[in-house]
């Protein structure tokens, strides 16, 4: 993932939706990059939310909605194990995004679900939902990163 900018105001629907999703994906990954252990997995709030957990969760979300992979426990997706490194979790997220983007790119009709979708939802709904989900967690990551080292902004 590169540091994307939001799509232009004259882009088509699919380009706009995918562009905003990629923009948010890039933003949340950037918040976790370069944060040393153990800070990257240190909870910033009583619920236990941490930067690495947010990335791990969004990896599961991408794989569930676009690739049809089952999730045994959604709460567990927020908790990286001791043997999951930041580099490995970020690489897993980038791989999930690349696979999801291949599915999105192959979609010619936003009213249809992708072939391996876990829900019978249209691609339009999935893209909109992932924008909402990723945006919400990117906001959480902004706050957690600022608490860790004062870093703000993209």
pLDDT in tens, 132-149: 999 999 999 999 999 999
User: Would you state the pLDDT for residue 132?
Assistant: 98
The domain 13-149: what is its CATH number?
A: 1.20.120.450
Cα distances (Å, whole numbers) of residue 141 to 8, 48, 58: 25, 13, 12
Count CB neighbours of 12 within 10 A. Answer: 10
Q: Give me the residue spans of the domains in the chain.
A: 13-149
> How confident is the model over 108-129, as pLDDT tens digits?
999 999 988 877 899 999 999 9
Peptide bond into 38 cis (omega under 30): yes
Query: DSSP code of 76?
Result: G
Count CB neighbours of 131 within 10 A. Answer: 20
User: Would you state the pLDDT for residue 154?
Assistant: 65
Backbone angles phi, psi at 113, to 5 degrees: -75, 155
pTM higher than the cut 0.85: yes
User: Would you state the pLDDT for residue 3?
Assistant: 46
Interacting residues of 117 by C-beta distance below 8 A, sequence separation 6+: 65, 66, 68, 126
* Spatial contact of 53 and 80, defined as CB atoms under 8 Å apart: yes
* Spatial contact of 143 and 94, defined as CB atoms under 8 Å apart: no
Question: If you search the block for the tokens 């619920």, which residue do you land on?
Answer: 47
Q: What is the pLDDT along the chain (154 residues), one digit of tens a residue?
A: 554 678 888 889 999 999 999 999 999 999 999 999 999 999 999 999 999 999 999 999 999 999 999 999 999 999 999 999 999 999 999 999 999 999 999 999 999 999 888 778 999 999 999 999 999 999 999 999 999 998 887 6
* Spatial contact of 118 and 64, defined as CB atoms under 8 Å apart: yes
The region that residue 150 occupies, defined by phi over 0 for left and psi between -120 and 50 for alpha, beta otherwise, is: left
User: Would you state the pLDDT for residue 119?
Assistant: 79
């Amino acid at each position: 993932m590169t540091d994307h900018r939001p799509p232009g105001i004259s882009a088509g629907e699919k380009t706009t939706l995918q562009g905003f999703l990629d923009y948010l994906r890039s933003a949340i990954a950037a918040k976790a990059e370069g944060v040393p252990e153990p800070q990257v997995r240190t909870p910033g709030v009583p619920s236990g939310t941490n930067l690495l957990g947010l990335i791990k969760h969004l990896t599961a979300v991408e794989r569930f909605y676009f690739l049809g992979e089952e999730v045994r426990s959604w709460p567990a997706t927020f908790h990286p194990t001791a043997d999951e490194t930041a580099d490995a979790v970020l690489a897993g997220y980038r791989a999930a995004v690349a696979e999801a983007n291949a599915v999105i790119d192959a979609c010619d009709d936003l009213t249809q679900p992708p072939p391996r979708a876990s829900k019978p939802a249209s691609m339009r709904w999935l893209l909109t939902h992932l924008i909402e989900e990723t945006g919400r967690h990117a906001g959480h990551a902004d706050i957690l990163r600022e608490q860790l080292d004062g870093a703000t902004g993209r």
